[in-house]
Structure 1
Amino acid sequence: MIYFILTGLLLCIILKRNLLTIVDSFAAFRMPYLLIGTFAFQIFIYWLSHRTGRDYPILLELSFAIMILGLWMNRHLPGIIFICFGALFNLIAISIHGGLMPVSEKALMMSGYNGSAFVTDDPRHQLMNTSSYWWLGDWIPFFKHVISIGDISVGFGFIRFLLGTTSKREQHEG
């Protein structure tokens, strides 16, 4: 996801957008505590999973559902609808696959990721078995990562949000 954030910021700089105007858009968010709270809760679930070596599918799916509700309530903002649908795709993927995001081993190898570390160190993902819904999982190699169509939609939405909420810098004449 960091690549999408960096791309959005880079585009804003290239297009001479004023990044400080993003702050103004926060006033337009409806129920922002839902988004902030679910983001914080997902960080907690990630920490807990790594601490205990277990996955918490019900908690993860619940946090995704609440986050999607918060995103849907803010679909009037630029790009948020793409983030919402991307999160929905990811929720469907993890729900269908027992609370874990399925990951293509072939895509992992193509991306240059060390598959042996993946198997033992990641309690939030599982290697993809045969599934009719493989296309919802992480199968797209992307800079030493593997991403899903949901991730692409979220990333595109974030870039759109940045470009849609920043204003053009005013040119000062000298």
Structure 2
Amino acid sequence: MLLLATCTLALLSPLLAGRWSARLLLLRWRWPLLIWATLALQVVATEAPIPATLASVLHVATYAAALAFLWANRHVAGVPVVTAGAASNGITIALNGGVLPASASALAAADIDRTAGFANSAVLDHPVLPWLGDVFAWPAPLPLANTFSVGDLLIALGVTLAAWTGTQRLGRRPEHDGVAESQA
């Protein structure tokens, strides 16, 4: 939830500064249904009462699908940074059996108990690439207290870059590749 809130704030931040993301909003995304399917599968993998093995496989598959969407849209400003973050998380999850390793101290700071059900992030006995896991905390009692990773930071940075690239002041007509419109 913390990453979703951060990305939403990043997308809205130009509006808060009196600008709008003309380029981003008018962009024609490639394979848009793939990202919606990815998000739906993420919900199933992390929230549905399914066997842990299936949840782990689905969790890894969502990153593969998200990376396919990002690759198809790599020409968009910020997307390569989002891709780096998603790849960091996805590779680490895949190497750790479908779970992103978490720091016990980060979980404690965020006041998170990951003992029940499938955890997309958890303390592991022998994690692979533990420094790429959820090692940072947005601590309790702050709203949306949670843990986050280097990959999550890259995703938020990439979304911010995408939101701000090509912004224009509100009320200004969109520019057309630097070509002035003829006066009639």
Do Structure 1 and Structure 2 share a fold, with TM-score over 0.5? yes
SS where residue 89 of structure 1 aligns?
helix
Where 2:98 maps in the other structure, the secondary structure is: coil
Question: Over residues 15-49 of structure 1, what are the superposed CA-to-partner deviations in whole Å (9 max), with x where a residue is unaligned?
Answer: 21125764312x2x11222222222222222232x
The one-letter code matched in structure 1 to 2:50 is: T
Asked whether the equivalents of residues 81 and 158 of structure 2 are also in contact (C-alpha less than 8 Å), the reply is yes
Which residue of structure 2 aligns with residue 58 of structure 1?
Answer: 57
Whichever of the two has the greater Rg, that structure is 2
Go from structure 1 to structure 2 and tell me whether the alpha carbon gap of 1:77 and 1:59 turns closer, same or farther (over 3 Å shift).
Answer: same
- Alpha-carbon separation, structure 2, partners of 1:9 and 1:58: 30
Alignment of 1:15-94 (within 5 A): 15-18=17-20, 22-25=24-27, 27=28, 29-48=29-48, 51-52=49-50, 54-55=52-53, 56-94=55-93
Change (3 A) 1:85 1:46: same
1:11 matches 2:13: yes
State the TM-score, normalizing by the size of structure 1.
0.81
Unmatched segments (≥5 aa) in structure 2: 140-144, 173-184
Q: Aligned-pair distance for 1:166?
A: 4.2
The separation in 2 between residues aligned to 1:17 and 1:128, in whole angstroms, is: 44
- 2:104 corresponds to: 105
Unaligned 5+ segments in structure 1 are none
Q: Are residues 71 and 14 of structure 1, via their aligned partners in 2, closer, same or farther at CA, if it must alter by over 3 Å?
A: same
Structure 1 residues 110, 123: closer, same or farther in 2, change over 3 A? closer
Alpha-carbon RMSD? 2.5
What is the CA–CA distance in structure 2 between the aligned matches of 1:32 and 1:6, rounded to whole Å? Answer: 18
Q: 1:92 to 1:161 in 2, by over 3 A?
A: same
With over 3 angstroms needed to count, the CA separation of the structure-2 counterparts of 1:110 and 1:90, relative to structure 1, is same
Tell whether the 8 Å contact from 2:92 to 2:128 is kept in structure 1 after alignment.
no
Distance of 2:122 and 2:108 partners within structure 1:
15
Give aligned pairs, total.
Answer: 165
Give TM-score scaled by structure 2 length: 0.77
Structure with the higher helix share, 1 or 2:
1
Contact 2:6–2:156 (8 Å) recurs in 1: yes
Moved over 4 A (4+): 19-22
